[in-house]
Amino acid sequence: MTQTHTSAEPTLFRIAGFPYFLIAFIARLPFAMMVVGVLTVVVSARGSLSLGGLTSAAVGLGTACFGPLLGAAADRFGQRVVLLIVALANGTMLFLFTVVVYGESADALVLIAAIGIGATAPQVSPLSRSRLVTLIRERVEDSRQPRTVSGTMAYESAADETVFVFGPFIVGILASAIAPWAPLVGAAVLTVVFVGAFALHPSARHVSRERGEDGKALSPVSELFRPQLLVVILGILGVGIFFGTMLTSLTSFMADRDAAEQAGLLYGVMGVGSAILALGVAWLPPAFSLRARWLVFSGILLAGSLLLGLVDSPAMMMLALAIMGIGIGPTLVTQYSFGAALSPLGRSATVMTMLGSGIVVGQSIGAAVAGEIAESVGTSAALVLPMFAAAVAFGAGLLNWVLSSSRRRRRTVAA
């Protein structure tokens, strides 16, 4: 009898349904295509690699500045209306940017249009996390919630990494087969169709239940600035800086060997391992606590990054990347799990977009600084930056351990 009851308990996959996961996955693709697509079309139309890099950074800047605001709007007005408006706005901006780039407009207008693309970028990944966490809180029994949340964050992180591998690949195919503007037009169509479908999916209705009768969040804004949550944002910022500095310094490393085009292949070694290990987090035992996971896996990331000071060949670089891949995926999953656990009532979308923006800001800063140092000082100096970023992620894990211990002691005293 007990066995029948257990098997009848709904899983998140059954609650949300397969169409949800398919739509949410495809709806992420446009964002992964935007940055590379913008770079491709600017370099082709304007003949300036420097302007292309600045334009890509402008997209990231727009996303970082407006992403949390879109999350707050989704918490306030519901995901459905915000996503529908943003999908149409972003599709329009992508078309407009293409027209501006191929026109006679000044470079400054190109940069402004790029910021507009980033500002209207649909926050599908963080809003999907927020939506699924809400479904878990509502429909999954309490005893199964921690493992289900952990598994959900693992899937979401793996989906993000998969999309960011396929996104540039699709851009390359469309740009080669049709024209440099094709990836942006394709991204615009995908945005309107699939982000629209993501907005209209029935699961969007569940998120609004965390708001009060007056439509306001059930917790004050000050809850977003608790030390425990700020430490998670610091840690995820470190991961973002790592992504930006690692890819840029790796490109410089391979360029020194006249094989810059192979940087993406080597980077894939870390990406594949990271995605696989991220999914594996769902099967870790509950006794291996979240705060312990953060320390262990960010420690592996830091140890792998220290090998960058010794690499002298692509083979040695692959070994370092493989070790770092073991640490980076589970660290990211753990940080998102903390974000989900610490989200104030009615502000989960805001928290998730803050975390997502932390990665974007970190990537933009890391890529810009690493590129400048690699060009002016050299590759060896640039390879120190991923070590610094990994140290930030690990240090935030230590702070989180201390804060978690203090919180546990307070609960014990109160009890």
Interval 129-179: pLDDT, tens: 888 888 888 777 777 877 888 788 878 877 877 777 677 667 778 877 888
Pull the structure tokens for residue 50: 């420097």
- Half-sphere exposure at residue 292, Cβ-oriented, CA atoms within 13 angstroms: 7
Which residue type is seen at 156?
Answer: E
The answer on pLDDT for 112 being more than 90 is yes
The answer on pLDDT for 36 being more than 80 is no
Average pLDDT of 71-99?
90
Q: How many helices (H) and strands (E) does the chain have?
A: 18, 0
**pLDDT at 206 (0 to 100):** 61
As annotated, the residues of the chain forming the CATH 1.20.1250.20 domain(s) are: 15-216, 217-415
- The three-state secondary structure class of 211 is strand
- Half-sphere exposure at residue 252, Cβ-oriented, CA atoms within 13 angstroms: 25
**pLDDT at 367 (0 to 100):** 78
**Angstrom distance (rounded) from CA 320 to CA 254:** 14
* 149 Cα distance to chain centroid: 17
**CA dist 7 → 4, 10, 139, 152, 317 (Å):** 5, 8, 15, 19, 46
- Closest by Cα among 266, 226, 258 to 347: 226
- Half-sphere exposure at residue 182, Cβ-oriented, CA atoms within 13 angstroms: 12
Q: For 351-397, what is each residue's pLDDT tens digit?
A: 888 888 888 788 778 877 887 888 789 899 999 999 999 999 999 99
Average pLDDT of 115-128?
90
Backbone dihedral angles phi then psi of residue 214, each to the nearest 5 degrees: -85, 5
Pull the structure tokens for residue 105: 């407009």
Residue 391: its H or E element? helix 384-414
Pull the structure tokens for residue 353: 């977009």
Average pLDDT of 292-306?
95
Could you tell me the pLDDT band of residue 6, with boundaries at 50, 70 and 90? very low
| Residues above pLDDT 90, as percent of the chain | 28
**Angstrom distance (rounded) from CA 284 to CA 295:** 15
Residue 226: its H or E element? none
Backbone dihedral angles phi then psi of residue 181, each to the nearest 5 degrees: -80, -15
- Name which residue leads in pLDDT, 53 or 259: 259
Fold annotation for 15-216: Growth Hormone; Chain: A; (1.20.1250)
With a CB cutoff of 8 Å and minimum separation 6, the contacts of 341 are 149, 290
The answer on pLDDT for 42 being more than 70 is yes
**Angstrom distance (rounded) from CA 344 to CA 327:** 28
The answer to whether 204 and 79 have CB atoms below 8 angstroms apart is yes
Pull the structure tokens for residue 321: 């990347």
- Name which residue leads in pLDDT, 55 or 200: 200
Backbone dihedral angles phi then psi of residue 217, each to the nearest 5 degrees: -65, 155
Q: For 206-248, what is each residue's pLDDT tens digit?
A: 655 455 555 555 667 777 778 889 999 999 999 989 988 888 7
The answer to whether 333 and 278 have CB atoms below 8 angstroms apart is yes
The answer to whether 44 and 180 have CB atoms below 8 angstroms apart is yes
With a CB cutoff of 8 Å and minimum separation 6, the contacts of 4 are none
* Neighbour tally for 234: CB within 10 Å: 18
For the chain, the average pLDDT equals: 83
Second CATH level (architecture) for the domain 217-415: Up-down Bundle (1.20)
Average pLDDT of 58-76?
86
Q: If you average pLDDT over each of 51-65, 212-226, 309-323, 330-344, which comes out highest?
A: 309-323
